[in-house]
Structure formats: structure tokens, C-alpha cells
Amino acid sequence: MRFDSLLDSVGGTPLVGLPRLSPGPEVRLWAKLEDRNPTGSIKDRAALAMVEQAEKDGLLTPGCTILEPTSGNTGISLAMAARLKGYRLVCVMPENTSDERTQLLRMWGAEVVYSPGAGGSNEAVRVARRMSQEHPDWIMLYQYGNLANAQAHYDTTGPEILTDLPTVTHFVAGLGTTGTLMGAGRYLREHQPGIQIVAAEPRYGELVYGLRNLDEGFVPELYDESVLTTRYSVGPRDAVRRVRQLLNQEGIFAGISTGAILHAAIGLGQRAVKAGESADIAFIVCDGGWKYLSTGAYEGTLDEAEDRLDGQVWA
Amino acid sequence: MSVEVRIPTILRPYTDGVKIVEAQGDSLAAVITDLDTRYTGIGERLVEEGSLRRFINVYLNDEDVRFLGGIDTPVADGDSVTILPAVAGG
């Protein structure tokens, strides 16, 4: 495959079968390897789409500063795009994220502003909104409410899956900004009658839910629950157990949030086996495991890994 | 019917700091009513005009109850109910 530039190579990722982890010959799991994107995560799709839409709308002009609240991957994708296109990027990120995320952001030239760990990404959104008021000339793309985020997945991720797997019965992805599920989910619902669209939401330790009051809760503007069939909450123990299984049994080295998604996908597969149904379950590998090595998720016992991830925004 | 309910930090002032409490009821609504009889005021923090509040997520055995039956979701003996405030990802 040949592309004119790195930005042109976003998307078009492989969908690979998991012969060992699939629950049976009639119930198969398929991993969409989004770590094969230019900066190593699915967020390249949304970040590039948001930047290009803002350029089309005349919001972004050469020399502009982009501001974005992010727990990491979107920021890293934006940093790459901003570098290639000549924008300055300021990311607001919770302080309780892996060191590698900060290192990567700075490598690609982004400036990092930390938000308090308690409240997780909710706090990052709040801090970014405040900075946006102080710097009215900065452009906040705001992945949680930017239609181009979901549209990128409607235009690319969804069609890619259906083309590669015309028999797909289930689509499982992580729930963060909700962009992947809203976009690809909506496309697949429109084109594959009866498909189940299932969200796997990371369940963090208590610090991340440490809001001062319930009104500080946050539901992304993009979220439309009618797109989903259901939604599961997956804690760090199950996420780590599954991400290790994916590595040990299928050779895929994925980030921790992928473990949470795989956990939901395997559950759906086991249910299909029990019901005597056949199923082709496609799920998202959001990113590789590289930028989570320092969290210790891949070594020691599950108890140790769970303890180390407590209080971290690991997805 | 007895279920285990996990209370988030933000609501623990109602349960004297207790993290996991037992409650009775055959639906989520009944469980919340039962909780409110012992932990006065907690029900109002969870429910508004007969529905779950927007920034409250409740999971029955890890599945979001909004996809099961909302506040009327049936619960069975030994089920686990987890209450969490809505937080962002990304």
C-alpha cells in the first residue's frame, strides 16, 4: 500500500480472527487492529477528521493554537496532525495517566497542562473550558461534542468492518467520547439488520469518580443511547486478565482498554454458544500496550496489577 | 430478595461511609426505596421524576440498567448493583 503522506494512511486497518480465543467454530471473534494507525491508536481517525472539518469551516488557519481535553490518545493523534499541518497544540490531561502519554505528547510537540486526578477526564474538560475562555482565539475541537468525531467512524471504521466481515452480528467497542460507537454503530445498524452494538465502559478506581457533587457528572454530547444494544462496565481486573490472554493466546499486544472490550466480546460469545446461535463478533483493539508498560499491567499477579491501576485513568 | 449495592464515594455521607450495603426488593425501584428508608435522602440523589438522574449510572451485574428496564429492572437474590457518577473518557 502506498500513500502520499502519513495523514493519508489513517484507517484501513486489518481485521484479524482469533482462532484460540473464539468460543467455538460457529462463534468467532474478530479484532480490528487500530494500533496500526500512524500514532498507534484509533483516535487518529477522529483527530484528523476534526482538524480537517475545522479547516473546511475556516476555524483553523495556519499558526492557530488548538486546545483539547484528553486522557491521552486523542491528544497524541492531534499532536501528530498539528505538527504536520503547522498548528500549536495545548492538551489538558488528567495527572493520573501513564507517563508514556506525556512523553509521546511532548515528542510530537504538544504542550501538556495537567488537570487534577480526582474527577478524571471530567476535570480535564472543565479546565480546558476555563482556558478556552481565557484564550478566545484558541480553537477547542472538543472531541466529546464534535460531530466530525463520530462521522469519521461512520465514514471509515463502520464500512471497513462490514466490507471485511459481511456476516458481522456484534460490534463491541469502548465508551469514552462515544465517537467510535456512535459513528460505526450507526453505520452498522443502518446496513446490517439485527446487529448488536455493545459498549464496554472502563470502571476505574474511586479517585476517578471523586466528583465534588453529582452535577459535575458528564455525558458526552455525542452520546445517543438508542444506537447501543447494551453497555457493560468492566473493571481493571477483568481488563488486565483479558489483555494478557490476548497476548498469550493470540499474540496481540494491546492496551488495557482493549482488555475491557475483549471481556465484553467474550461474554457475548459465550452467550451465543449457550443459545446455540452462530455469531461473528467484531471488536476494537484501541491501541497497543506500549504506552502502558510503566503501569505494570503486564507483569506480576492480577492483584498486583489491579492495585497499581487503582486511581489511574487506564483507558 | 437481598442484593448487594455498591455506593460511590460521593453518596457515602448517606451510608455513614459504608461502601457496600445490603438492600431488599424485587426491582431496582424497590431497592432504591428500601435504601432510602434506612439512608434518608439517598433516593432523591438517584431518582428524579421517576427516572434515574442524568449523571447517575446504575449497573446490575455490570450491565447498564438503562438497557435492561431502567428503574423497573427486575433484580434477583444475590444480584450486585453498582452506582457510579457518569465520567468521561477519550
Average pLDDT over residues A19-23: 97
Cβ distance B8 to A209 less than 8 Å, yes or no, reads yes
Phi and psi at A232, nearest 5°, equal -110, 150
Q: What is the pLDDT of residue A182?
A: 98
Q: How confident is the model at residue A312 (pLDDT cuts 50, 70, 90)?
A: confident
Q: Give percent of chain A with pLDDT exceeding 90.
A: 90
Mean pLDDT in residue range A25-39? 98
Q: Is A242 helix (H, G, I), strand (E, B) or coil?
A: helix
Convert the pLDDT of each residue in B15-48 to its tens digit.
999 999 999 999 999 999 999 999 999 999 999 9
Name the band, by pLDDT with cuts 50, 70 and 90, for residue A4.
Answer: very high
In CATH, the architecture of A6-36+154-309 is 3-Layer(aba) Sandwich (3.40)
Per-residue confidence band for B80, with pLDDT thresholds at 50, 70 and 90:
very high
pLDDT at B90 over 70: no
**Closest-approach residue (CA) in chain B for A213:** B10
Angle at A255 between CA A250 and CA A261, to 5 degrees: 75
Sequence spans of domains, chain A: 6-36+154-309, 43-140
% of chain A beyond a pLDDT of 70: 100
Chain B positions touching A212 (Cβ under 8 A) are 10
- Under DSSP, is residue A51 helix (H, G, I), strand (E, B) or coil? helix
Q: Is the pLDDT of residue A127 over 80?
A: yes
Say if CB A36 and CB A283 are below 8 A apart: no
A and B: number of Cβ contacts within 8 A: 100
- Nearest residue to A275 via CA among A94, A45, A24: A24
pLDDT tens-place string over residues A230-273 = 999 999 999 999 999 999 999 999 999 999 999 999 999 999 99
Calculate helix-pair angle for A73-85, A99-107, nearest 10 degrees.
10
Q: What is the mean pLDDT of residues A294-301?
A: 93
CA distance B39 to chain A (A): 17
Report residue A110's pLDDT band, with 50, 70 and 90 as the boundaries. very high
Question: Which of A97, A209, A263 to mutate against chain B (most B CBs within 10 Å)?
Answer: A209
Q: Which CATH fold topology does B2-85 show?
A: Ubiquitin-like (UB roll) (3.10.20)
Q: How far apart are CA A25 and CA A219, in angstroms?
A: 38
Evaluate whether A153 touches A45 at the Cβ level (below 8 Å). yes
- Give the pLDDT score at A314: 86
The kind and range of the H/E element at A99 are helix A99-107
Query: What's the mean pLDDT in A87-115?
Result: 95
pLDDT at A157 over 90: yes
| Predicted pLDDT at A154 | 98
CA distance B46 to chain A (A): 9
Mean of the per-residue pLDDT values for chain A?
Answer: 96
pLDDT single digits (tens) A49-100? 999 999 999 999 999 999 999 988 999 999 999 999 999 999 999 999 989 9
Facing A122 at nearest CB: one of B62, B67, B88: B88
Residues of chain B with C-beta less than 8 angstroms from the C-beta of A203: 82, 84
What is the pLDDT at residue B31?
A: 98
Task: Inspect the interface and report whether the beta carbons of B53 and A71 lie closer than 8 Å.
Answer: no
Mean pLDDT of A26-47: 98
For residue A207, the model assigns a pLDDT of 87
Q: Considering only the top CATH level, what class is A43-140?
A: alpha beta
Residues of A assigned a catalytic role: 43, 257
At position A82, the amino acid (one-letter code) is: A
Residue B10 distance to chain A (closest CA, Å): 7
Which of A229, A231, A315 has its CB closest to that of B89?
A: A315
CB atoms within 10 A of CB A194: 6
Cβ distance B89 to A121 less than 8 Å, yes or no, reads yes
Confidence of residue A120 (pLDDT cuts 50, 70, 90): confident
Q: For cell 438517584, what's the residue?
A: B46
pLDDT in tens, A167-219: 999 999 999 999 999 999 999 999 999 999 999 999 998 888 888 788 888 99
